[in-house]
Amino acid sequence: MARILGSLNFPRHLGRGLVDAKLMLRDIKSPAIAATTTEPAIEFFPTICDYFKILVIQRAFTGFTATTELWTISFEVSDSANGTFTEIGKKELNGTAKDHEIAFTGNEIYDILKDSKWMRATATKTGTSVGNLTYGAFIVW
């Protein structure tokens, strides 16, 4: 019985609702990052979805200057967990705490990489004065 329960994936509460932990690209409770960071890939088959979105919860950070001091979150897909990843979308973040929604269709992803089975998030730091980033990213529909 413990083995069965151990394999279940219970939803996580975010204060806004429940999210399936298997669809979490980055946990908002993770420590802030100070440099460009790629999260581990999660298994997800985006091409079978009519529509889905990625919810990004961003905490405030210091030092933002448009185009020179900022963070960019990119979302990438691949046909294998350790394969070559292809960007499907990105969002530039300013220093203000905010939630962002980036919408996709399965057809869009199919046109980019028809065998997509894995997805990940990468936070890229631009500049040297921008503060550390705390964010969470989740697939929802």
Find the CATH number of the domain harbouring 51. Answer: 2.60.120.1110
Instruction: Kindly state whether residue 2 falls inside one of the protein's structural domains.
Output: no
Say if 8 falls within a structural domain: no
Residue 96 lies in a domain: yes
Domain hosting residue 57, numbered range: 16-140
Is there a domain that residue 25 lies in?
A: yes
Residue type, 124: T
pLDDT digits (tens, 9 = 90+) for 75-104: 999 999 999 999 999 999 999 999 999 999
| pLDDT mean across residues, the chain | 88
Whether residue 9 lies inside any domain: the answer is no
Domain count, the chain: 1
Question: Whole-prediction pTM value?
Answer: 0.85
- Domain assignment present for residue 4? The answer is no
